[in-house]
Structure 1
Amino acid sequence: MRPEERIRPHAVPEVPGGDARHDSWRREFPGEVASVPAARAWAHGLLAVRLAPPALDDVLLLLSEVITNAVTHSDSCRTAGGRVTVHLTHDPGAVHVEVTDDGSTTSTPAVHVPDADSDGGRGLWLVDLLATAWGSSRHDDEAGRSVWFQVPE
């Protein structure tokens, strides 16, 4: 398994599928920093009536971190017309979030232990800390990379 496809060993990801009890939404955003608050506001509007505040706060924080990474470290921000796509799924018991960007030849998602005096580098560390499961994958058939996570309801 490639490092970027790491899944926390104690967690088994549930892939949203044929269960009629889930809600699912997808939206594309420009590959720019202004998309971070826009994606957060969009997700808040969809999930605020479905999740208790602690779970909603975790989802919004982790979404902010993952989409910030996508628009900062991928080709989504380096190429004209770059995009990031956010896919949210709310199943009974969990929220699954996937952020897809245009990929990168210079960086790979990785957890770093943050320095106490550093202004950044906490994104995937927070995801690893708060999510019940997470992972990433490179799209072999097309340019792009996805990072996903799950948060209990």
Structure 2
Amino acid sequence: MFVQRFSATRRGARLARRLATHRLDDWGVPYGSPAADTVALVVAELAANAVLHGRVPGRDFELRLRCDRTAGVVRVEVADTHPGRPECPEPRRPGADPADADGGRGLLLVAAVATRWGVDDRSGPGKTVWAECALSTPHACFERS
């Protein structure tokens, strides 16, 4: 398992994505592989949402990665500390409104590439948004020494 807290900034979100792909490579899921690219996309979207919508000044967000060889998935969890009620955000479809052109479809991408995703309560304020991404090779997730 990989667990790390990041500052709730764009820089923190970018670092989360980079460290996730590094950890996957350590687990035998190489950079640039379909599974690594999928997890990187999911981490980027969920971390960006934590920074944009779940940010509380002075508080970090947390990234957890778990590799389940038996199920053949990598589980990505991003927890924010916003004190609002943890509700399942709705993926937004593109509309005719030009204001929607620059964003709002990250969860639509997550839903498209993940095998499943959802939102859970967390201890303390905030919520955890999670997604499971399929591994392309069943022998992945063996940490290299």
TM-score surpassing 0.5? yes
Unmatched 5+ stretches in structure 1 = 1-23
> How far off its partner does 1:106 sit?
8.5
Does the Cα contact within 8 Å between 1:73 and 1:104 map onto a contact in 2?
A: no
RMSD between superposed Cα atoms in Å: 2.0
Residue 68 of structure 1 aligns with an amino acid whose one-letter code is A
- C-alpha distance in 1 between matches for 2:79 and 2:86: 15
- Aligned twin of 2:115: 132
How many percent of aligned residue pairs carry the same amino acid?
33
- C-alpha distance in 2 between matches for 1:48 and 1:115: 38
- Aligned twin of 1:105: 84
> How far off its partner does 1:114 sit?
2.5
Residue 124 of structure 1 aligns with an amino acid whose one-letter code is L
- C-alpha distance in 1 between matches for 2:103 and 2:86: 16
More helix by share: 2
Q: 2:2 aligns with which of 18, 25, 28?
A: 25
- Sort the Cα spacing of 1:67 and 1:47 in 2 relative to 1 into closer, same or farther, 3 A: same
- C-alpha distance in 2 between matches for 1:107 and 1:137: 7
- Aligned twin of 2:143: none
Runs of 4+ in structure 1 deviating by more than 4 angstroms, as ranges, are none
- Sort the Cα spacing of 1:137 and 1:103 in 2 relative to 1 into closer, same or farther, 3 A: farther
Q: TM-score, normalised by structure 2?
A: 0.79
Q: 1:145 aligns with which of 116, 127, 135?
A: 127
Unmatched 5+ stretches in structure 2 = 136-145
- C-alpha distance in 1 between matches for 2:106 and 2:83: 17
- C-alpha distance in 1 between matches for 2:11 and 2:111: 25
Matched, 1:71 2:48: no
Does the Cα contact within 8 Å between 2:42 and 2:76 map onto a contact in 1?
A: no
Does the Cα contact within 8 Å between 2:8 and 2:61 map onto a contact in 1?
A: yes
3-state secondary structure, aligned to 2:125: coil
Q: TM-score, normalised by structure 1?
A: 0.75
3-state secondary structure, aligned to 1:110: coil
| Number of residue pairs the alignment of both structures matches | 126
